[in-house]
Structure 1
Amino acid sequence: MAIAPSVYIGTDFGATTSKIAGIWVDGQPISTELLQRPSNSHLGPAAVVEGWIEAIGIYLAQHDLSWDAVQGVGVAIPGPRRSYGVLERGPNLPESFVGFDVYSAYRTALVMQTGRDIPLVVGNDGNMGGVAEAHQVRGSGSASVLMLAPGSGLGCAFVDARGHALDGDTLAGMEASHMPAPLHLLGLPAYPCGCGREWGCIELYTSLAGLPYLIAAYLPEYPDHPLAHSPLSPKEQALSLRGLAQQDDPLAQRIFDFQARALGIHIANLAMACDPQIVIIGGGLMDTEATRAAFRERYLHTIWEAAAPYLWPSQRTTMRILPASLGELSQAIGAALVALDQHMMS
């Protein structure tokens, strides 16, 4: 009788969609194709977990694997967290998820599906993405990695030389998106953040969350710009900027240059504390299907030019700023890698 191969499954829980990925015992992805299904969070926590179990079954069948092969499962969840595996109130999830014990519910569902206790790990989605990208970029090396991923907000992670993400004692480690921006260098006021802080969280100057403010700040200088007379809502205008920038639109390019500069200064700030050898930039602006190579190169170059003057001399010669490479797979693969690491340590 053939022995089933050992695999580790990662689940990436988003308010709208959940993603499934898997790795072999050597840490290599089983596939680079994304399995994505609706989370159905509007139906409540039980429906979400049921959907994960169903999606894993589909993933295993697609790759001629069985549940017997699964030796560990990881799940990437959004912050904030009340305690390990327990959600606090989040900006995008229904009220029914406040206080939801993801760890206990998912672990019980796995036992019911397989008849055995499959080890489960839970972690912040940004941290899980950082683990995967760090594993990808450094190979057999041991460099520490800082990952910043501007998207709807600013995802942040720091992964040490052992491949472990910084969680912190209250599971709030590397919430660096809510550190105050250096407003004296950026020349803009402190915009109020959805987190409740009013000191000008850096997220508002580097991600989609702040684009309506930046459009309002710069659009008056472009009175003939289509957005100056657009019926689109502020959010819709913000969502249009990435596409406009690919057409060399001057307003869009100016705003993304500003965001890159703000992100570069933030990297220099974090380098004082973390001293990473590699900085990975993720998020939608690094999406090779949605942005041109010239745009990505300009964005990364502007980040480096903004960071370099504030780095220590040794950091200027050793630090590298690189684009993320795993895209939407990163958080699910990271969750699987953490599950593998925990299994090997047990």
Structure 2
Amino acid sequence: MSEPIYIGIDSGATTSKIAAVRSDGSIFPSELLQRPTSSEGGTAAVIGAWIGAINEFLAQHGLAWAQVEGVGLAVPGPRRSYGVLDTSPNLPAEFDGWNVEHDLRVALERESGRILPLALGNDGNLGGVAEAHRARGTEACSVVMLAPGSGLGGAYVDASGMPLDGDTLAGMETGHLAAPLQLLGTDALTCGCGRDWGCYEMYTSLAGLPGLLERALPRYPGHVLADPSLGKKERVLKLRGLAQDGDALALELFDLQAKAMGLLVAELSMAVDPSCFVIGGGLIDPDATTVEFRERYLGGIRDTALKYLWPTQREMLRIVPATLGELSQAVGAALVARHIAREAS
């Protein structure tokens, strides 16, 4: 009998990615398959693009639809109800109110010749599912993933491997919790979400670095980033390289980000009590950062968090780097599809 597989789709506004897992949960070996989402062509074009990408994936690996036992879809939140999208800043207006779950289910049945289990989830949460699956190994434990990038993504994955989505696909929007500014020694930066209470996103990700840099520069007269010919974005993008060269200002800012992440780890430990945290994002990318820098960053997170944990939590706490990169959300979608299919059988 042919090996059963579960397909995961990670849908972005511009591109979508395809991955698969086997029945034992192992990731099907594959290069990243990434194709245009075709959102400019409307909802029908997006469904067609996803089905086409799945067909391409199956053909590349000598697989058939008969082996597909379930499909998962990772999409950005929020949603109006299960499977129905709400307004998204990254999609055309016609996608507001689209019942993507229904249309994809119909297309999958038409393509495969049978009704397939279909799982739908928030893209960040499903990325957390995949990273948690890898980080926990054979241990049954809950995992939180925090992924600082342009903003701060977060996911909570329980011991069964399922994420906390919430009722609008906005569960674990940890980036928009309020940071304890008195412990960070800084003031409130207004977040892109509109909140002015000091969202964690502004102290842990690229979003807040321009404001933090602006406040730090007066303490470093003559610094290379004070050059008025440099734009805000150009200055911020230079920080990671400067930090790895030992620049004091850059290290100060990333140490502040590590402290903020550590405080968030401590707060989430109080709320959901996981024994493992997975940290993603460009600051732990082995292709872009040195071992020394990554150890300093992760160590700063851990040292800060430990001060605020219960004794047992201090003993159990693991903080590890993410490892799946761009595959994580599609892999997570496939893993949840596997879970749903097993529950249905």
* Contact 1:7–1:72 under 8 Å retained in 2: yes
Paired residue for 1:328? 326
Q: Structure 1 unaligned runs (5+)?
A: none
Tell me, yes or no, if structure 1 residue 90 matches structure 2 residue 88.
yes
Note if 1:304 corresponds to 2:288.
no
Report the Cα offset of residue 189 of structure 1: 1.9
Post-superposition Cα deviations, 1:168-204, rounded to whole Å, max 9, x if no partner, equal 3444321221111111111222222222222111111
Cα distance in 2, alignment partners of residues 45 and 290 from structure 1: 37
Correspondence for 1:160 among 158, 180, 183 = 158
- Which residue does the alignment assign to 1:9? 7
8 Å Cα contact 1:32-1:329 kept in structure 2: no
> In the aligned structure 2, how far is the partner of 1:217 from the partner of 1:16?
35
Alpha-carbon distance between aligned partners in 2 of 1:290 and 1:240, rounded to the nearest angstrom = 12
- Residue number in structure 2 paired with 1:145: 143
> What is the CA–CA distance in structure 1 between the aligned matches of 2:14 and 2:202, rounded to whole Å?
22
Report the Cα distance in structure 2 between the residues aligned to 1:259 and 1:187, rounded to whole angstroms: 12
Residue 182 of structure 1 is matched in structure 2 by 180
**Which structure 2 residues correspond to residues 34-53 of structure 1 after superposition, within 5 A?**
34-53=32-51
Q: Is the 8 A contact 1:107 1:118 kept in 2?
A: yes
State, as a whole percentage, how many aligned pairs show the same letter.
Answer: 58
Distance 2:220 2:88 in 1: 36
Deviation at 1:126, TM superposition (A): 1.4
Equivalent-residue separation in structure 2 for 1:285 and 1:153 (angstroms)? 13
Q: Which sections of structure 2, spanning at least 5 residues, go unmatched?
A: none
Q: CA deviation at 1:32?
A: 4.7
Residue of structure 1 in register with 2:268 after alignment = 270
CA distance in 2, matches of 1:151, 1:62: 32
Paired residue secondary structure (1:310): coil
Deviations 1:47-84 (Å, cap 9, x if unpaired)?
A: 22222111111111111112221111101111222221
Q: Distance in 2 between matches of 1:181 and 1:239?
A: 24
Q: Counterparts in 2 of 1:22-37, with a 5 A limit?
A: 22-37=20-35
Q: Could you say which residue in structure 1 is the equivalent of 2:238? A: 240
Task: State whether residues 156 and 172 of structure 2, in contact with CA within 8 Å, keep that contact through their aligned partners in structure 1.
Answer: yes
| TM-score, scaled relative to structure 2 | 0.94
SS at match of 1:237: helix
Match of 1:112 in 2: 110
Asked whether the equivalents of residues 85 and 97 of structure 2 are also in contact (C-alpha less than 8 Å), the reply is: yes
Alignment correspondent of 2:219: 221
Matches within 5 A, 1:206-217: 206-217=204-215
1:283 to 281, 290, 300: 281
SS at structure 1 position matched to 2:198:
coil
Cα distance, 1:30–1:222 mapped onto 2, change above 3 Å: same
Runs of 4+ in 1 over 4 A off after TM superposition: none
Q: What secondary structure does 2:165 align onto? A: coil
Alpha-carbon separation, structure 1, partners of 2:208 and 2:36:
27
Q: Distance in 2 between the 1:158 and 1:144 partners? A: 7
Tell me whether 232-241 or 19-28 shows the greater mean CA deviation: 232-241
Structure 1 counterpart SS, 2:307:
helix
* Deviation sequence 1:225-246 (CA, Å, 0-9, x none): 2321153432333233333333
Check 1:87–1:39 CA distance in 2 against 1; reply closer, same or farther (3 A cut): same
Aligned equivalent of 1:79: 77
Whole-angstrom CA distance in 1 between matches of 2:276 and 2:305: 13
Quote the Cα distance in structure 2 between the aligned partners of 1:109 and 1:230.
54
- 1:230–1:34 Cα change, 3 Å: farther
Q: Distance in 1 between matches of 2:215 and 2:14?
A: 31
**Alpha-carbon distance between aligned partners in 2 of 1:257 and 1:43, rounded to the nearest angstrom:** 45
C-alpha spacing 1:24/1:217, structure 2 compared with 1 (3 Å): same
Post-superposition offset of 1:105: 2.3
What are the equivalent positions in structure 2 for 1:120-139 lying under 5 Å apart? Answer: 120-139=118-137
C-alpha separation between the residues in 1 aligned to 2:55 and 2:240? Answer: 36
After superposing the two structures, state which structure 1 stretch, 68-77 or 78-87, moved more.
Answer: 78-87
CA distance in 2 between counterparts of 1:89 and 1:231 reads 38
Rounded to whole Å, the distance in 2 between the matches of 1:40 and 1:196 is: 30
Task: Report matched runs for 1:256-267 at 5 Å.
Answer: 256-267=254-265
What secondary structure does 2:119 align onto? strand
